[in-house]
Amino acid sequence: MPNDTLDAIDQRILEALSRNSRMPLKELAEIAGLSSPSAAERVRRLEDRGVISGFTVSLGLAALGYPLQAIVRVRPLPGQLHIVERLIQETPEFIECDKVTGDDCFIARLVVRSMGELDGILDKIAERAETNTSMIKASPVERRLPPFNG
């Protein structure tokens, strides 16, 4: 959907919901300059158009016992692509994974409690793929909205 179909009100709604997806409808309506029923209708239309695909929660991974995060580039050995993809899908510590072009087939984000746990997870994949792991020191840009204009 082209971004020029989002007017200023839609943009204010999306920005507000990206900061707090549990924002009360009354507060969202105030931010958007609408009545509560109008704001609810705008949100419904954004969902219907596929602009809003869901509402989520942001977790403090360290508070859940996962102080370490890594980006893992995965290059399956010949004939192992689907098996490696399934291994990644079935390993809950992989919290994100993209299938990409280039030398690697997958780029994944992994959370672990310790370096030993990281080794154990990667050992299971190493039988079927080459991996390259980078530990995350900080995330200076968290997931955010793309620019709406141009």
CATH at residue 12: 1.10.10.10
Q: Do 74 and 121 have their domain in common?
A: yes
Structural domain range at position 79: 62-135
* Tally of domains in the chain: 2
Model confidence pTM above 0.85: no
Burial 23-54 (b: 16+ CB within 10 A, else e): eeeeebbebbebeeeebeebbeebeeeebbee
In-domain check, residue 37: yes
Q: Do 68 and 119 have their domain in common?
A: yes
**DSSP structure class, residue 4:** G
Q: Do 79 and 29 have their domain in common?
A: no
Q: Do 81 and 121 have their domain in common?
A: yes
Per-10-residue mean pLDDT of the chain, 150 residues long, equals 74 94 96 97 96 92 97 97 98 98 96 98 96 96 83
Distance of alpha carbon 48 from its chain centroid, rounded?
Answer: 21
pLDDT at 26: 97
pLDDT at 150: 52
pLDDT at 2: 47
pLDDT at 35: 97
In-domain check, residue 129: yes
Residue 52 forms beta bridges with which residues?
Answer: none
CATH at residue 124: 3.30.70.920
How many angstroms separate the CA atoms of 113 and 110, rounded?
A: 10
pLDDT at 57: 87
Rounded (to 5) percent helix, strand, coil in the chain: 40, 20, 40
